[in-house]
A and B are shown apart, each in its own frame.
Chain A
Amino acid sequence: MPDNDMSPNRFELLYGMLLDAIPSSVLLVDEKLHIVSVNRNFLLKSQRGEARTVGRPLAEVFPTIILENTDIERRIREVFRTGTSVKGQRMTYRAPGVPIRIYYYSILPIPTNQVMLLMEDVTEQVRLSEEVRRVERHLASVVESASDIVLSTDTEGRILTWNSAAEKLSGLSAHEVRGQYFFQFCGSNQQQTVRKVFMLMKSGNESHTTEFPLVTSNGDSILVSWVFSPMKDDYGQTVGAVVVGRDLAERRKLENQLRQSQKLAALGVMAGGIAHEIRNPLAVCYSAAEFLLMDNISTEFRNECSRKIQAGIQKASAIIENLLRFARPSPDTEMVQVDLNTVITDTLDLITNQARVQQIRIQLELEQRLVLVLGVSGLLQQVFMNIFLNAINAMPEGGLLSIVEEISEAEVAVRISDTGMGIQESDLDKIFDPFHTTSPIGKGTGLGLSICYSIVQQHLGSIHVQSSPGQGATLTVRLPLL
């Protein structure tokens, strides 16, 4: 019958069930600090039976160490005295034989002249938040320890974080740059490009790779290779950007050293042709001078001898000048407007002798106009020199070296073909790798084409190879036109 459901007995049962269902520990304590009742959760956590708990003084149920550390008895007395609750205190508790637990507890006065001690086990939450903090600290130290610039921005490109490498390289502290637009620290002619990159990242997923100088606190600029990546939230919305930058100065220095030593190696290959070419005019001068020493020669012959000597010296000197020009390190200057045809013909002048001594004919088809590209002419010359020398080396029995230039809308393609032994298919995808060489030891460093590759890339161009064994090889260099 319904009345029975509302009997005091029934209430007590429901009260007990509710208390036991609460996933926190609940204790009722009287004024003498004896425990009046506890729920199942408390018994479970403290590993005590109800008989050894209910009716016992608090001091007997809680370990001494907790009583001393938390001063809980005094706090409970305080609640009895003032009627105000104590909320959110932390307590660390280790029951015999179980791992340490961490509780938040509150002491709440209740009208029956008792207090309720509510203890919530937060061990797991504390452990998780400590883990989160540890991961955060780790990530922060990864970013801080990186020798690359790492910074983050909002979607508009305003700087949020700026690591110590960024501080060191730029001379600007995180404090100074926070909230500023990143593009303000880029060279004036890059600002537009950088703003565009941030625009693109708002809607796109791609990273953007580029090279441009960072302006430092003292007005200098250092060349940096940048990667811009959009930062997405769980819904795929761009919430900002991560920008990583690497100081290229050191790499450029090494690259230049490598290019220079490879260039000298190429000079070694040309030595034979150079010797031949210089000794001819020397031989003519030498003989003509000997004629001049003779007594019975006509004025006409004397003049002819003098002219031959002058022409011979001029020829030898021109060869030496060409060599000097090639051997000299290319200054790492800004790229300037360069006529590619001049670069190609100057380079050809240097290798014509080598080609001649190997019975190689040269066929040259250049565009009949200026072919202007943005570049460093010394570096471009090194590219063509390496390709020409490779072609010549591929034709020890002679052959044809053809250089064909073709202009399309936005780029110029230079195809350099030989009629040599060709390249094995297995070597095709390795020929631009550093130190890959099929030449015998001492004949090639395996650096020539890898250097071509890096130089052409620096000029925003591309380089491709086509070949089959016995059919010669064609290398195509493409460069954007100005």
Chain B
Amino acid sequence: MNGPILVVDDEPDMCWVMECILRSQGFEVVTVDSGEEACNQLANRDFFFVFMDAKLPDMDGLDVVRHAHAQRPGTVRVVLVSGYHYHDDPVIRQAIDENLICGFLAKPFTHSDLLKALPTS
């Protein structure tokens, strides 16, 4: 699948971190800082991949994903990035089981953790 990577996080420095890592690997990156803007972006264009913060000031990250899935089923691949959840958090397990997200990345993370989350295809 083509298109840039979407980074959603309300903390500008988190966007800066992820953008730096991904750009250094040659990816095109779009960053937004709210659930509403993320929904707009996801509705209007294709993204290769999405890094989604779990807790946004206006919406829950998983709700943004649900919204995107409902609008354009099967087109969005998402990793949830959060300092709020932990790896075996029931909420995360359930979201993975439901195919809502394809992975979870806990803050803080190493650069290779972030890159490993990306699909190889």
Contacts and interface: CB of A to CB of B under 8 A. Distances in A.
A312 B16 CA distance: 13
Interface string A443-454: 000000000000
Interface stretch (A65-73, A177-185, A278-286): A278-286
Nearest to A312: B13
B107 A359 contact: no
B11 A280 contact: yes
B108 A276 contact: no
Interface in B1-57: 10-11, 13-14, 16-17, 20-21, 55-57
A288 B55 contact: no
Given A280-B83, A359-B58, A291 B14 contact: no
B83 A279 contact: yes
Given A279-B107, A279-B108, A311 B13 contact: yes
A287 B111 contact: yes
A278 B83 contact: yes
B21 to A, nearest CB: 7
Contact of A276 (B20, B60, B83): B83
A290 B13 CA distance: 15
B110 interface: yes
Interface majority SS on A: helix, strand, loop or mixed? helix
Interface string A284-303: 11111011000000000000
Contacts of A308: 13, 16-17
A275 interface: yes
A291 B60 CA distance: 30
Nearest to B114: A287
Contacts of A287: 17, 20-21, 108-109, 111
A272 B56 CA distance: 14
A287 B20 CA distance: 10
Contact of A283 (B20, B55, B108): B108
Given A286-B108, A290-B111, A291-B20, A280 B14 contact: yes
Given A272-B84, A276-B84, A280-B14, 18 more contacts: A275-B83, A278-B83, A279-B107, A280-B13, A280-B83, A282-B83, A283-B17, A284-B11, A284-B16, A286-B109, A287-B17, A287-B108, A288-B17, A290-B110, A357-B55, A359-B57, A359-B59, A359-B60
B83 A283 contact: yes
Nearest to A305: B20
A34 interface: no
Nearest to A358: B55
Nearest to A296: B24
Contacts of A288: 17
A77 interface: no
Interface string B69-90: 0000000000000111000000
**What's the interface size class on B, roughly?**
20 to 34
A356 interface: yes
A396 to B, nearest CB: 11
Given A280-B83, A285-B108, A356 B17 contact: no
A276 B59 contact: no
A283 B21 CA distance: 13
Contacts of B110: 286, 290
A290 B111 CA distance: 7
12 contacts: A275-B84, A276-B82, A276-B84, A277-B83, A279-B83, A281-B13, A282-B108, A283-B17, A284-B17, A286-B108, A290-B110, A311-B13
A73 to B, nearest CB: 107
Contacts of B16: 284, 308
B109 A283 contact: yes
Contacts of A312: 13
Contacts of A275: 83-84
A280 B16 CA distance: 12
Given A275-B84, A287-B17, A357-B84, A282 B57 contact: no
B55 A284 contact: no
A377 to B, nearest CB: 29
A288 B109 CA distance: 11
Contacts of A282: 83, 107-108
A310 to B, nearest CB: 12
Contacts of A276: 55, 82-84
Interface in A245-283: 272, 275-283
Interface string B85-121: 0000000000000000000001111110000000000
A281 B14 CA distance: 8
A280 B55 contact: no
A356 B110 CA distance: 26
A280 B107 contact: yes
Contacts of B17: 283-284, 287-288, 308
Contacts of B10: 356
A5 B56 CA distance: 123
Contacts of B14: 280, 283-284
Nearest to A281: B13
B25 to A, nearest CB: 12
A285 B84 CA distance: 17
A168 to B, nearest CB: 56
Contacts of B21: 287
A27 to B, nearest CB: 105
A282 B13 CA distance: 11
Nearest to A288: B17
A279 B54 CA distance: 13
A291 B106 CA distance: 19
A278 to B, nearest CB: 7
